[in-house]
Amino acid sequence: MTLKEHSKHPNLARPAYGNFGRNEWALVGTNCNVIKSLAGKIIEALAPKYQCAYVDASHANADTEEVLPDRLAQGATLEYTDQIRSRQFHYQKEFNPFQFRPFFNEADLVLVNGNHHQAKAQIVFIDPTKEASLQKRVSQLTHVQLFLISESETEIFPFLKNAIPNWGNIPVLKLSDTGEIIRFFERQMQAAKPKVNGLVLAGGKSVRMGSDKNLLNWHGKEQQYYLIDLLQEFCEEVFISCRLEQETSIPEPYLSLPDTFTGLGPMGATLSAFRQNPDAAWLVLACDLPLVNSETLAFLIGNRNSSRFATAFENPENGFPEPLLTLWEPKSYPVLLSFLAQGYSCPRKVLINSEVQILQVPDQDVLKNVNTPEEREQVLRLLKQRKETV
């Protein structure tokens, strides 16, 4: 008999983080001023479209004893200062990736001074004045994506060829060609745009309706399958979010995604989706919205802002974002968890208090939420009127 290998921890899907964020590059192999200057040019070019961050170390007190900010010197562990145009936190503790990642969660792109910090991918400068220094860091070159050569150089250092098996396939650019370097990062960011999965919310108990809303037939088939058909056009994979006991009632080839955050309604369903795939964006659509159509979904996808936490419609009835039809980006996962940790399970509250792309819905009827038999009759009459006018 063969015993199964024992695992102490559940097999959780982990986001594709580096030390700071998902898309991070260490600039290494030249002096800090060159790194800082190039990073500034890249950030200035990409900041209108992407949220950018920079990681460095201060050289101000390199030769003298560091003077702590007043409150830290007096024993505080944290000092916060509102400087009107920017905000500043002072800590005395050391940080590791588990502390860094929440701070950099909003960033789409993180550039790192590789002379002081490591990152998941690297941009390597071929600078003869720093060859010896780079050779000491060769073990940090785990995923080199670009070589930058100074005007006086024409060859990659021999030790890099020995250390990097695929060095011949890595693009090489002149350090002076700033425009092409920026285009390199633009291509990287376009390629890193998260894919979109669909999630049909069908796990509610429909207490007010008196019958399962996901099984209502508005358009010739049960609503949950009608919505799947709509989402298939825009999503790589589409899942029915359901309670565990509902899973066996969903036939092939439809995909189910049972709640693992139970008793939390749409918030729990969305978190369960991110728990399964934390690197996908999730287009969440509730069965409560029988008037959603392809045009609405196309408008949402076409106006998606993947640099924000989510893209959502403003509900004209209350002026708030509508969480029952929202495209959540991967960076929203830790934010949703943080709200839950603070005792909030309302996804609308997350949308209201986060940087979200808000759209005006082309057809206001699309957001009619049907929860009672009376609301059902109203929508049935509206659908009948629309058919008669076609």
Between β-strands 255-258 and 121-126, what pairing exists: parallel, antiparallel or unpaired?
unpaired
DSSP tag of 254: S
Contact residues for 374 (Cβ-Cβ < 8 A; gap 6+):
none
User: What is the biggest distance separating any 2 CA atoms in the chain, rounded to whole angstroms?
Assistant: 82
Instruction: Read off the pLDDT band of 1 (50, 70, 90).
Output: very low
Phi-psi domain of 216 (left: phi exceeds 0; alpha: psi -120 through 50; beta: other): beta
On whether the CB atoms of residues 150 and 175 are closer than 8 A, the answer is yes
Residue 386, both tokens = 């629309």
Q: How far apart are CA 73 and CA 62, in angstroms?
A: 19
Dist. CA 313–CA 246, nearest whole Å: 29
Q: Give ∠ CA 238-321-272 in degrees, rounded to 5.
A: 35
DSSP letter string, 269-293: HHHHHHHH-TTSEEEEEETT-TT--
pLDDT band at 206 (very low <50, low <70, confident <90, very high): low
Highest CATH level, class, for 196-389: alpha beta
Q: Per-residue confidence at 205, pLDDT binned at 50, 70, 90?
A: low
pLDDT at res. 383: 73
What's the whole-number mean pLDDT along residues 193-217? 76
* pTM summary value: 0.92
Cβ neighbours for 357, distance < 8 A, ≥ 6 positions apart: 303, 304, 305, 308, 310, 311, 312
In this predicted structure, the answer to whether residue 127 has a pLDDT above a threshold of 50 is yes
Q: Are 29 and 125 in contact (CB under 8 A)?
A: yes
Quick one: tokens of 225?
A: 């399958």
CATH of domain 24-56+88-191: 3.40.50.300
Pairwise CA distance, residues 97 & 120, whole Å: 12
Q: At residue 262, what are phi and psi to the nearest 5 degrees?
A: -85, 155
pLDDT digits (tens, 9 = 90+) for 3-60: 555 566 778 999 999 999 999 999 999 999 999 999 999 999 999 999 999 999 987 6
Portions of the chain given CATH number 3.40.50.300: 24-56+88-191
With H, G, I as helix, E, B as strand and everything else as coil, classify residue 109: strand
Residue position matching structure tokens 């076609």: 390
Percentage of residues in the chain having pLDDT higher than 90: 74
| CATH code 3.90.550.10 region(s) in the chain | 196-389
65 or 103, greater pLDDT: 103
- Give the count of alpha carbons within 13 A of 100, CB side only: 19
